[in-house]
Amino acid sequence: MNGIRAASRIVVKIGSSSLTRPDGGLDLNRIDAVARLVSRWRGRDREVLIVSSGAVAAGLDPLGFSSKPKDLPSVQAAAAMGQGLLMARWTAAFHAHHLDAAQVLLTTEDVMRRDHYTNARAALVRLLGLGVVPILNENDAVTTRELRFGDNDRLAALIAQMIKADALVLLTDVDGLYTAPPEHPGSELITRVASADDLMSVLVTGAGSRVGTGGMATKVQAAMLATTSGIGVQLASADALEAVLAGQRVGTWFEPSQERPASRRLWIAHVAPSRGEIIVDEGAAQAITVGKKSLLVAGVRSVLGHFDAGDVVDVASPTGLVARGVSGYDSDTLAQIAGSGTAELEAAGHEHPRPAIHRDDLAVLGDAFSALSAD
């Protein structure tokens, strides 16, 4: 069941709730313990990347805050103060095991823009190849509420996709995914999630800790995001990390899909911002989802939003969202020619009419995507 033992490259995400003491300060012993266990697992032929929350929590006490502030400038100030303290501890913890750690701070633009995405991937893979343990966090000191990952669970899943990790470990302050919040009577631990169907009857809440931003809902969404990319996910308590790395049956294991889509399709499906929407008929929806065909202009019924050729757009049928892809036309042109067949396009001056979206630029969205997109 657990693919951690056989993995050669993993991403470990640890949240603020697992890195802080009851008084809100940074739990130095926890960082030391994670570094010790990860260093031991890593060995000669294994690679580990850590996504670490805790910067804001680490900065509260030095700035005199008794709890996480609500205004953005104060949160960013705490993040700026705390990130250096957090990284210093990670560096010292790994140095104790003769390993180097490197800080990498990302913003949404670093993954949304394709050139930034490929550059970030190259840098991370190079660090891993050099035997370094990258420590990632969102650059909270400069991000805005409108342009941020929202939580490090999603960031960890996107990074796992980016570096083609074999598995993702999500550490939290509960044992795993339960059928309902653990404090509810009759709630039971779910040990294995094979598909999105297994989540239909699960009651998941979205509230995070008093120093964090996530919650179980974000972890489930991140897990489904990773598994659709062929990456297995282990959700467990931070206290169980040693058992997780040993491949023992703890927490909740999310089975990966059998296929691992190409990096470009993953970027289109889950990372790139959508600039508009193309509404297609049922025949076109079937052609691109079942037939794996290009989206032809003849199947386009309407166009929403304003976008340029080369922008990523959503593709929806009358029954809902079915795909995302790179548009071959700008929105004005596509709206004018929507529904036209090849003969009509040629008659209108399009000598070699191209598809609305070529199949190589299409990412079909399945049930798992619907599950992770749901509130």
Give the three-class secondary structure for 243.
helix
pLDDT beyond 50 at 322: yes
Q: Sheet containing 232-237: give its strands across.
A: 101-106, 133-138, 47-52, 9-14, 167-172, 232-237, 252-254, 192-193
Q: Sheet containing 312-317: give its strands across.
A: 300-304, 277-280, 312-317, 320-326, 362-364
Fold classification of 274-373 is 2.30.130
Tokens 């998941």 belong to residue:
204
At what angle are helices 152-162 and 216-227 packed, to 10 degrees?
Answer: 10
Assign domain 9-264 to a CATH class: alpha beta
> Which spans in the chain are helix H?
16-19, 28-42, 55-60, 72-95, 109-112, 114-129, 152-162, 216-227, 241-245, 263-270, 282-289, 331-337, 342-347, 367-373
92 or 42, higher pLDDT: 92
- Read off the pLDDT of residues 156-192 as tens digits, 9 standing for 90 and up: 999 999 999 999 999 988 889 988 888 788 888 899 9
Q: What is the distance between the terminal CA atoms of the chain, rounded to a whole angstrom?
A: 28
Give the confidence band of 150 by pLDDT, cuts at 50, 70, 90.
low
Give the range among 79-83, 114-118, 134-138, 240-244 with minimum mean pLDDT. 114-118
- Read off the pLDDT of residues 91-106 as tens digits, 9 standing for 90 and up: 999 999 999 999 999 8
Whole-Å CA distances, 24 to 11, 18, 67: 25, 11, 7
Token pair in block for residue 103: 């800080």
- Read off the pLDDT of residues 335-355 as tens digits, 9 standing for 90 and up: 999 999 888 888 877 767 889
Domain ranges of the chain: 9-264, 274-373
Token pair in block for residue 297: 């202009």
Residue 227 burial by CB count (10 A; 0-12/13-18/19+): exposed, middle or buried? buried
